[in-house]
Amino acid sequence: MKTAILKFEKLLSENVDLFSKINSDVFTAKVSDKWSKKEILGHLTDSAIHNLVRFTEINYVEKPYHHRPYNQIDLVNLNQYQEMDIGELIQLWFVINKQIVRVMKSVDEKALDYKIILSDQSEIDLRFLMTDYVEHLEHHINQIKS
């Protein structure tokens, strides 16, 4: 878990300032019907919100924990990230993720083994979910930077 946390912290520290230096036209440009870089950052914000809830809830709700999916496209549209001030969006994304880092650093070693039931009834554990979150974050950050 320490490796994932270090990677996570590095992704945040290296990119929070970089994002604010991306030209506004580049950030908001849509490639065909795909998300803009700004909307990708909005998606990462939605992901952070949902995963912060998951990472904390699993500690006090009935086990096994049942993972609740969300509609990524609808959330990006409903939250109107394309129209949002980019500075506010970057700040929102960053602050929520800093809280996730705090939660990940404080999670009990035993809690990392808590079982999570996905919507297809397959099972993962909290360790996998947290590590996968960092990989997901890195994937989309690379899309924003490209």
- Between helices 126-145 and 2-21, what is the axis angle to 10°? 30
| pLDDT at res. 32 | 66
Tell me the mean pLDDT in the region 95-103: 98
Q: Under CATH, which number does the domain 2-145 receive? A: 1.20.120.450
Interatomic CA distance for residues 65 and 34, integer angstroms = 33
**Average predicted confidence (pLDDT) for the chain:** 96
Bridge partners of 117?
66, 123
Domain boundaries, the chain: 2-145
Is the pTM higher than 0.85? The answer reads: yes
Whether residue 41 contacts residue 75, with contact meaning beta carbons closer than 8 Å, is answered with no
As a whole-number percent, the residues of the chain with pLDDT over 90 amount to 96
